A and B are shown apart, each in its own frame.
Chain A
Amino acid sequence: MSGRTPLGSLPAGFTHRRRRGAELFLLLLALVVGIGAYAAVGIGVEGEVPVNIVGYGGWLAGLCLGAHVVVRLLAQYADPVILPIVAALNGLGLAVIHRIDLGKLAKDKDATVLAGDQLVWMTLGVVLFAAVLIVLRDHRRLQAYTYTAGFAGIVLLLMPLVPVLGQEIRGARIWINVGPLSFQPGEVAKVCLVVFFAGYLVLHRDALALAGKRFAGLDLPRARDLGPILAMWGLSLAVLVFQRDLGSSLLFFGVFLTMLYVATERPGWLVVGSSLFLGGAYLGYLLFPHVQSRVEAWLHPFSADSNSFQIVQGMYGMAWGGLVGRGLGLGDPTMIPIAESDFIFAAIGEELGLTGTMAIIVLYGLIVERSLRTALVCRDAFGKLLATGLAVVFALQVFVVIGGVTKLIPLTGLTTPFLSYGGSSLVANWAIIGLLLRISDQARRPMPDLTADEDGPGQDDATQVVSLR
């Protein structure tokens, strides 16, 4: 209609190039970022390149190249930009965590060192990434596990509420203890729930899309179709109420809402869902002092009775960084409490300046853009929904945490994907990237059979699903 070719239906005869060479080149650049940052931290703090730079750099390079080889063998057509961006972010995150370790050690010889753990977690993440690509040869297989994934997601979400298992850290009950390990099941639940939403919505989107009443130019859904959205609303409110985790609550509900909108193409759902969420959030604000104190710290960070020391220190750090930053190792990021976790973005802002923070925001933006592009070219509805869901999870999480740290919105506890210290988050995000590359590989792969193309994607995926079962 608009005269251009929509991305979803590519011109006949068009095939995506594999671009694995480009991916390798970008990965080398990403390694330069990661290893270079590690060396710069050593030079900045101790005046010399760290002695273990070869071992560290080799390990990082091995992980990246290993991931690349798996992609080259098992997902030849996958998007070539996503993996290098993730490698760059993860490498930079490791260097900054190492830098914060050094800062802590300078103040306290017995401080806990975290960079080593994080490298182990990254290794596990890459292994899981490879496992996803090896085990899952076609993302549509996941559709068979729709309800399993949904059940697993809810169980994982509720696990921290189990008395012995769950653990409350800094006001939020989102951790579980398994032996010596502590784990944030919400990060994995995120992936499970997106799989569940995609599978559920593919099956029920026609029913949900049936127009209800038209009101003020919007097609509002029928009352009986409100069931699942109300259930999801209840679940995210439960997360807010019982785990006191604003960020996850917003994340789950936001993802569900956008996937519902994409599946049904009805903006009416957005209106209904947003009003529900805003109403719930306002109720939460009225009822819970925890939420009120977060909002208070956001509105009046400099007022004396505001519980805003961390956010103010983060702002001071970023302001002190200015345009080009103090230089890696030359700032004082340990002045921000728990800088290695939610506030790693502020630590980066201090040492790499506005230049660094903008680069990181743009890198995240590129991951989201590449994922949504994957959703556009994907040929099956389940894949489209899954890719959109994963992209939006990513976008919302980045927005909520960076927006919180930079005082754009009230601060809610979420990790910065690939940068923050934290095993569950890192591993889960690598799995997400694995899923995205798998979908992307399927979407960009040339059509095996030209006759199948003529019916269009909508007809196509229904038959394919059956054939796979």
Chain B
Amino acid sequence: MNKPIRTMALFCMLLFAALLANATWLQYVSAGDLNARGDNNRVRNAEYSNKRGAILVGGRAVAESVAVRDEYKYQRVYRQPFKYAQLTGFYSYVYGRDAIELTENDVLSGSDPRFFVERVVDMVGDNQPKGGSVSLTIDPDAQSAAFAGLQDLGDRAEGAVVALEPSSGKILAMASSPSYNPNLLSSHDFGAVQDIRQDLLADEARPLLNRATQEVYPPGSTFKLVTAAAALESGEYTPDSLVKGGTPLAFDSGQPLPNENGSDCGGSRITLTDALRVSCNVAFGWLGLQVGDDALREQAQAFGFGDTYLRDLPRQAASRFPTGDLEPVYQAYSAIGQYEVAATPLQMAMVAAGIANQGTTMRPYVVDEVRAPDLTVLEKTGDEAYREAVSPAVARQLTEMMVAVVDTGTGTAAQIPGVQVAGKTGTAQSQADRPPYAWFVSFAPADDPKVAVAVMVEDAGVARDTISGNGLAAPIARSVMEAVIDP
């Protein structure tokens, strides 16, 4: 009977070898995939019971984890919740993360591969792993000015502000209104979190939306900067070239293009500088027809239209210029930022920043430094040129034209005493049944730009005829620029 017993021994050995191999497969080979699955609560629980790193602005935490006496050990706390909501995002057990909490999760949770050494030390020392912290490029004064500017329009005002440092691409301020309180979404009272989220999702003003980057709006007359840039880049125009003013632009088919309030822009032939200064629709519609839709499209793309270049925040919407051969009427309307042209406030800030930075746009970023749990700097984000939008000469010409807008044109509300400001207003119509969008883009000081701003007010709940870029948006832009220039 010994031979079959030996055979059975071999058979049993095979069974146990299969068990060993399968355990290795499960716990080593496929462990990473299993841990990464969304419905795996263990990984989430473990992450929750670690001390998550802070999000810092100007050296102070705007989001941090504090120890609490419940089963999750730490509670995420947002110190200035509404002001920074769209930047920090939330950190919810039930609904996950958003914004920096999402994109920098590996750093904040401590699972980033750069923390390998720390994790080994923690494991040997039997300490709970700690997360690293992230410091943002945000200028706290500029952010306060931006958020206060939107708040002053009213609690339910819809709008956004973006400020960039033209030479580096650093995002100095980014505010969106209405905002929300991320503390409520990050609470450990999951029932309440669910209710809050239902309310936020049901809210027609969409408080969870970051209007600065996640939605596109008709840029209106601020897009005339792009049209002017295309004309100047073509080499056939200078700021003193005469362009058509006066009577509405008529087409073979479609609505004639009139000026705002039926004015004649100061004559039937005006200079390009004057056309921008008074924001002459007829002149820029005509100019759009002259340079053609291909040149407009290329110029828009050179500033970043059609692309998503922001790496630090999720769900950036790409700004757009209509594709395909456009009929003349649409070419003209596109040239003044109407028809299907749509841009994020960030994109229009990029246009201003590109002009301010001698024609070169820089890739915008908001994560300045990544720090290890012991606060040593692990990585500092470097500046990166994004695209050369216009030549330095054209940038200079555009700057002068924009200075004229603020000095004596439609953008006088942005004037700062003792500082030369370059800017452009915009008031864009979309549908007849909703208020127009008020825009203002600018940078200052014009000779040595420190800050470029775009302000967009979607709905401030004010009477329709009082809505204008100069009236609603320019004052906010001015206060943000002031906050950066003299802190």
What is the interface of chain A, defined by CB distance below 8 A to chain B?
Answer: 6-8, 106, 258, 261-263, 265, 302, 312, 315-323, 327, 331-332, 335, 349-350, 353-354, 357-358, 361-362, 364-365, 368-369, 372, 375-376, 381, 384-385, 388, 391-392, 395-396, 398-399, 402-403, 406-408
Contacts and interface: CB of A to CB of B under 8 A. Distances in A.
Nearest to A384: B1
B419 interface: no
Nearest to B128: A330
Contacts of A321: 27
A315 B26 contact: yes
Given A315-B26, A408-B19, 7 more contacts: A262-B1, A312-B39, A323-B27, A332-B42, A361-B23, A362-B20, A392-B8
B22, B39, B43, B45 interface centre (most CB from chain A within 10 Å): B22
A316 B8 contact: no
A262 B13 CA distance: 17
A391 B16 CA distance: 13
A332 B28 contact: no
Given A6-B2, A368-B16, A376-B6, A408 B35 contact: no
Contacts of B8: 258, 261-262, 372, 388, 391-392
A131 to B, nearest CB: 28
B375 interface: no
Interface of B: 1-9, 11-13, 15-16, 18-20, 22-24, 26-28, 30-32, 34-35, 37, 39-43, 45-46, 71, 126
Contacts of A396: 15
B10 to A, nearest CB: 10
A384 B8 CA distance: 12
A317 B43 CA distance: 10
A402 B23 CA distance: 9
B15 A395 contact: yes
Contact of A399 (B5, B15, B30, B43): B15
Given A316-B34, A316-B37, A388-B5, A365 B27 contact: no
B22 A323 contact: no
B12 A365 contact: yes
Nearest to A336: B42
A75 B26 CA distance: 41
B29 to A, nearest CB: 10
Contacts of A391: 8, 12
Contacts, number: 131
A408 B23 CA distance: 9
B23 A375 contact: no
A407 B22 CA distance: 8
Contacts of A322: 27-28, 31
Contacts of B32: 319
Nearest to A324: B123
A372 B16 contact: no
A332 B48 CA distance: 13
A319 B4 contact: no
A382 to B, nearest CB: 11
B40 A358 contact: no
B3 A319 contact: no
A392 B1 contact: no
B1 A106 contact: no
A389 B35 CA distance: 40
Nearest to A353: B27
Contacts of A317: 42
A7 B5 CA distance: 11
29 contacts: A6-B2, A7-B2, A258-B8, A263-B1, A265-B4, A315-B34, A319-B26, A319-B35, A320-B31, A320-B46, A331-B42, A332-B45, A332-B46, A335-B41, A349-B27, A350-B42, A354-B24, A358-B23, A361-B16, A361-B20, A365-B13, A372-B5, A372-B12, A388-B5, A391-B12, A395-B15, A395-B16, A402-B23, A407-B26
Nearest to B4: A262
Contacts of B18: 399, 403, 408
Nearest to B40: A316
Contacts of B35: 316, 319-320
A265, A302, A320, A364 interface centre (most CB from chain B within 10 Å): A320
A132 B151 CA distance: 84
Contact of A375 (B5, B16, B20, B41): B5
A332 B41 CA distance: 10
B5, B12, B46 interface centre (most CB from chain A within 10 Å): B5
Given A353-B27, A357-B23, A357-B27, A265 B16 contact: no
Contact of A361 (B4, B19, B30, B34): B19
B119 to A, nearest CB: 13
A319 B34 contact: yes
Nearest to A322: B31
A263 to B, nearest CB: 7
Contacts of A302: 37
Nearest to B18: A408
Contacts of B40: 316, 320
A262 B23 contact: no
B27 A318 contact: yes
B23 to A, nearest CB: 5
A302 B38 CA distance: 11
A317 B27 CA distance: 9
A384 B5 CA distance: 9
Given A316-B37, A319-B31, A335 B16 contact: no
